[in-house]
């Protein structure tokens, strides 16, 4: 008489050693599942927090009879199966084994990866996140970031037990409404484990916090994402100064390598770090000085000037929002000069290492946030460039041998008066970066050129070591002068004589 008489249930009930459990309480974890099921046999695998509501689970016994005994028992029992007082419905799974029980995000650790669904980054403050997660124990560090997956946060606890409690309690739940702006609708938390064990927070900011280190400097201007200065209401650039310069390189017909940039920008002070990246098809670079003053001088001096003569590689400089770059110490695209002997790493670092430098650290679903991680775990100090985007520009970055032969001129070295340079006295003088570079600078911005005005005409003798550092052909900045006479194959001498501007 029932309509289901000749119908099977939508989900077949043929016995399987895998059982499907539903109506589980949201708190349910693996241990509770095992407690419920182990009287009937040995459990070889489980999967909990399944389904949209995370209230289903699978349990796999070693053999079919054990699963059958459990289903049979509760089918005839007056006491339903329960977890924490909640009735659990048990049936045979329509599969015969549990696959992929543990995704990387399920491997417990002391750091949680929290995705806050349905909100924009600005809707949930780091203080709210801190408040919510502090209910389970001392929160050591928080780093937030925004990616395709949504607004995410890494929450570091002292140990995996506390992290686990927080995850079990909060996964799938919402941040209380009263903690959120009114316009926010639902706001579900999706929580998995991060592979990280210790976040590297460099600044206290609205994006990242280290609660273990109250003396960590505050970086009030660290704003995620956009590197370029924001536009003010009047449409003019709102520039706040920074010790890090953002250089956009226009008309980049010639290679602009880390070494070239280091040479150019070192004229104004110690360059700490450099990172080159592509943005919207344009090459950009971040150059970090120890202080704002140095950066400011460099910016004023170099803005609008060309690295190479003929209008090539014109620099446009602005202040980055970043204050401390998190770059690979030695790669094609970045350099950290604050690390001793970084140049020695050259031979040891595979050329492709930078392309996915932290891949091993970001298994599974964290993969999608790698770029943001590099930025935000470091405290929001790095723009969210994707190193992988830099493929395909090898023509410009490989070696000096790819310079167009006849038109090569070397980059400038501000700080030495062009007039002090010898011309034609040696093969090298014609390629002198000082000569051409200074000329280029002088032409582009007469009177502002740092090489003339800042350091005056107190030039060193030709051939002294600063000149070496200017030569982009030099792969190694400490290369002895004599070695520079041996040009890399394929690099032609300059096609035009040195030009000395005023």
Partner DNA sequence: AGCACA
Residues found near DNA in the complex (CB under 7 A)? 9-13, 18, 20, 22-23, 47, 50-51, 53, 55-56, 58, 89, 91-95, 97-101, 103
Assigned token pair, 390: 């830099």
Nearer Cβ to DNA (103/398): 103
**Burial track 33-65 (b if 16+ CB lie within 10 A, e otherwise):** beebbeebbebbbbbbbeeeebbbbbbbbeeee
Nearest approach, Cβ of residue 15 and DNA (Å):
11
What is d(CA 8, CA 91) in angstroms, rounded to the nearest whole number?
14
Nearer Cβ to DNA (58/403): 58
Of residues 358, 352, 351, the one with CA closest to residue 327: 358
Nearest approach, Cβ of residue 303 and DNA (Å):
49
Kind of pairing between the strands at 189-193 and 208-210 = unpaired
Nearest approach, Cβ of residue 24 and DNA (Å):
8
Nearest approach, Cβ of residue 146 and DNA (Å):
22
Q: Return the DSSP state at 290.
A: S
Nearest approach, Cβ of residue 155 and DNA (Å):
22
Secondary structure string (H, E, C) spanning 210-260? ECCCCCCCECCCCCCCCCCCCECCCCCECCCCCCEEEEEEECCCCCCCHHH
Nearer Cβ to DNA (190/209): 190
| Cβ-based neighbours of 102, under 8 Å, separated by 6 or more | none
With H, G, I as helix, E, B as strand and everything else as coil, classify residue 116. Answer: strand
What is d(CA 333, CA 104) in angstroms, rounded to the nearest whole number?
30
Nearest approach, Cβ of residue 272 and DNA (Å):
41
Nearest approach, Cβ of residue 372 and DNA (Å):
20
Nearest approach, Cβ of residue 434 and DNA (Å):
57
Nearest approach, Cβ of residue 89 and DNA (Å):
4
Nearer Cβ to DNA (5/233): 5
Of residues 234, 226, 410, 225, the one with CA closest to residue 312: 410
Nearest approach, Cβ of residue 191 and DNA (Å):
14
What is d(CA 275, CA 297) in angstroms, rounded to the nearest whole number?
20
Query: How long is the chain?
Result: 502
- The answer to whether the CB of 451 falls within 8 A of the CB of 438 is yes
Nearer Cβ to DNA (103/464): 103
Nearer Cβ to DNA (97/198): 97
What is d(CA 257, CA 134) in angstroms, rounded to the nearest whole number?
46
With H, G, I as helix, E, B as strand and everything else as coil, classify residue 461. Answer: coil
Assigned token pair, 356: 């996915």
Assigned token pair, 96: 């015969």
Assigned token pair, 201: 């927070």
Nearer Cβ to DNA (16/459): 16
Nearest approach, Cβ of residue 94 and DNA (Å):
4
Nearer Cβ to DNA (98/252): 98
Nearest approach, Cβ of residue 192 and DNA (Å):
11
| Cβ-based neighbours of 193, under 8 Å, separated by 6 or more | 104, 105, 106, 107, 108, 109, 111, 112, 113, 160, 163, 167
Assigned token pair, 289: 């000085």
Cα dist from 124 to 144, 156, 157, 179, 350, whole Å: 10, 18, 20, 8, 41
Nearer Cβ to DNA (55/144): 55
**Burial track 80-89 (b if 16+ CB lie within 10 A, e otherwise):** ebebeeeebe
- The answer to whether the CB of 280 falls within 8 A of the CB of 248 is no
- H or E stretch including 161? helix 160-170
Nearest approach, Cβ of residue 370 and DNA (Å):
17
């Amino acid at each position: 008489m029932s309509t289901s008489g000749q119908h099977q249930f939508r989900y077949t009930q043929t016995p399987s050693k895998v059982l499907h459990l539903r109506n589980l309480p949201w708190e349910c974890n693996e241990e509770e599942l095992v407690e419920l099921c182990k009287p009937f046999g040995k459990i070889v695998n489980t999967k909990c927090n399944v389904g949209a509501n995370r209230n289903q689970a699978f349990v796999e016994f070693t053999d079919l009879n054990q699963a059958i005994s459990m289903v049979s028992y509760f089918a005839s029992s007056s006491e339903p199966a329960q977890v924490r007082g909640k009735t659990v419905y048990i049936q045979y799974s329509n599969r015969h084994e549990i696959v992929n029980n543990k995704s990387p995000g399920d491997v417990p650790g002391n750091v949680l990866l929290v995705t806050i669904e349905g909100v924009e980054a600005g809707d949930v403050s780091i203080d709210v996140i801190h408040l919510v997660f502090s209910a389970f124990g001392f929160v050591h560090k928080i780093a937030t970031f925004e990616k395709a997956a949504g607004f995410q946060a890494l929450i570091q606890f002292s140990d995996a037990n506390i992290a686990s409690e927080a995850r079990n309690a909060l996964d799938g739940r919402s941040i209380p409404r009263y903690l959120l702006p009114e316009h926010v609708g639902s706001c579900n938390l999706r929580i998995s484990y991060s592979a990280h064990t210790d976040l590297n927070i460099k600044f206290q900011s609205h994006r990242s916090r280290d609660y273990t280190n109250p003396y960590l400097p505050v970086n009030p201007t660290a704003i995620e994402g956009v590197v370029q200065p924001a536009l003010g209401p009047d449409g003019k650039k709102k520039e706040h100064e920074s010790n890090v310069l953002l250089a956009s390189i226009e008309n980049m017909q010639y290679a602009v390598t880390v070494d070239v940039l280091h040479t150019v920008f070192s004229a104004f002070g110690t360059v700490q770090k450099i990172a080159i990246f592509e943005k919207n098809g344009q090459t950009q670079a971040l150059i970090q000085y120890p202080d704002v003053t140095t950066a400011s001088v460099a910016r004023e001096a170099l803005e609008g000037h060309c690295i190479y003569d003929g209008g090539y590689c014109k620099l446009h400089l602005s202040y980055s929002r970043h204050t401390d770059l998190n770059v690979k110490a030695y790669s094609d695209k970045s350099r950290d000069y604050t690390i001793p002997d970084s140049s020695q790493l050259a031979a040891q670092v595979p050329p492709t290492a930078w392309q996915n430098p932290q891949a091993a650290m970001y298994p599974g679903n964290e993969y999608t946030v790698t770029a943001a991680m590099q930025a935000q775990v470091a405290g929001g100090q790095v723009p969210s460039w994707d190193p992988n985007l830099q493929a395909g520009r090898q023509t410009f970055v490989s070696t000096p041998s790819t310079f167009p032969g006849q038109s090569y001129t070397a980059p400038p070295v501000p700080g030495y008066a062009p007039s002090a340079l010898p011309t034609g006295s040696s093969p090298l003088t014609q390629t002198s970066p000082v000569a051409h570079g200074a000329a280029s600078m002088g032409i582009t911005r007469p009177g502002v050129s740092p090489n003339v005005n800042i350091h005056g005409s107190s030039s060193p003798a030709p051939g002294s070591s600063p000149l070496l550092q200017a030569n982009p052909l030099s792969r190694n900045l400490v290369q002895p002068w004599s070695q520079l006479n041996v040009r890399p194959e394929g690099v032609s001498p300059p096609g035009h004589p040195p030009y000395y501007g005023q």
